[in-house]
Amino acid sequence: MRLDLDKVRANVEKAETEDLLDRATVYRTGMEPEALELIEAELASRGVRADEIEAHSEARRQTSLTGPDGQAVKCWRCHRPAVAVGWGWHRLWGLLPVFPRWLAFCEEHRPAEPQHSEAEP
């Protein structure tokens, strides 16, 4: 399949800066070189410096989960890198819980840790 650079360019122009930083760093190995050039050019046009890209890369490397292929694992609900895994429900039509399954969560979609009182073990 041929890469449609016009579609990629339109997508890159409307993407959030954090999303572009993720694509240019943690998802870099899975990207086409032409798409990376467009992403890097867009980041430069937004005033994002190379040291900021490197800092983002290092921060993501420390917190993101990677799969067996070395690629960052994506959150099950969005495209951000996952930082935790846990049990969740597979839902039919997004509503009815059908069966539990193992899910990856980004920082935003990560479930809150259960609260324990001091009386509990």
DSSP 18-29: HHHHHHHTTTGG
Question: What gap in Å lies between CA 53 and CA 118, rounded to an integer?
Answer: 43
The boundaries of the domain holding residue 79 are 65-121
Question: What gap in Å lies between CA 109 and CA 81, rounded to an integer?
Answer: 11
Same domain, 69 and 56: no
Same domain, 100 and 57: no
What domain count does the chain have?
A: 2
pLDDT band at 22 (very low <50, low <70, confident <90, very high): very high
Same domain, 10 and 53: yes
Same domain, 76 and 115: yes
pLDDT at res. 103:
93
pLDDT band at 113 (very low <50, low <70, confident <90, very high): low
Same domain, 16 and 49: yes
Same domain, 51 and 82: no
pLDDT at res. 40:
97
Same domain, 48 and 23: yes
Q: What is the pLDDT of residues 24-69, one digit of tens each?
A: 999 998 899 999 999 999 999 999 999 999 999 999 999 999 999 8
Is 16 or 111 the better-scoring residue by pLDDT? 16
